Structure 1
Amino acid sequence: MADNYGRTALIYAAGQGFVTIAVILIEGGADVNATDTAGKTVLDYTIGGDKTQLTELLQKHGAMLSADIRKDMSEEEMFDSLPEAAATEESASSAEPAASN
């Protein structure tokens, strides 16, 4: 079910950063790749603000950015948007020995 603009409950939850509600909706079968009438996906609505946890949750469940958003991203931005990239980066930085003076 969506509003007149094609926005589903999951799109609203993503836009507002409501992680708990998003989890409930996803577990209930909400489409993580739903799009609104403008072609924006659920994941597109997490761009901006501090919605990292929600972005990772959606990506874990197969959510994709819209083609319009992807075409405007650099290769580095696309890589950084992947949850595996963030985990790899964190692992690498924690494994680096401390610099000695």
Structure 2
Amino acid sequence: MKLTDVALICKALGDSNRLEIAQMLSDGEKCGCRILERFSITQPTLSHHMKILVECGLVNDRKEGKWHHYSLNCEALIEFKNYIGSLTCEL
């Protein structure tokens, strides 16, 4: 995973709403309407958050009719976790 990709994911997850959305998606695909129910935000605000998560590669977007369904991109998540896990601290 390129450092620019890691930075984009870190930036995306730097927002508590987006971090919570990622956590929600960790147990499977969710319709945007279900995600919206959990927050006190407007639909355009949710769309903005989802766009950032999709553009950084962490979330997949699938459209079915008028609804968008979102899921974690497991490959990107595993690469991100591996990168973070490779960081060490010398004491």
TM over 0.5: no
Larger radius of gyration: 1
Higher percent of residues as helix = 2
What TM-score, normalized to structure 2? 0.27
Q: Relative contact order (alpha carbons < 8 A, sep ≥ 6): 1 or 2 greater? A: 2
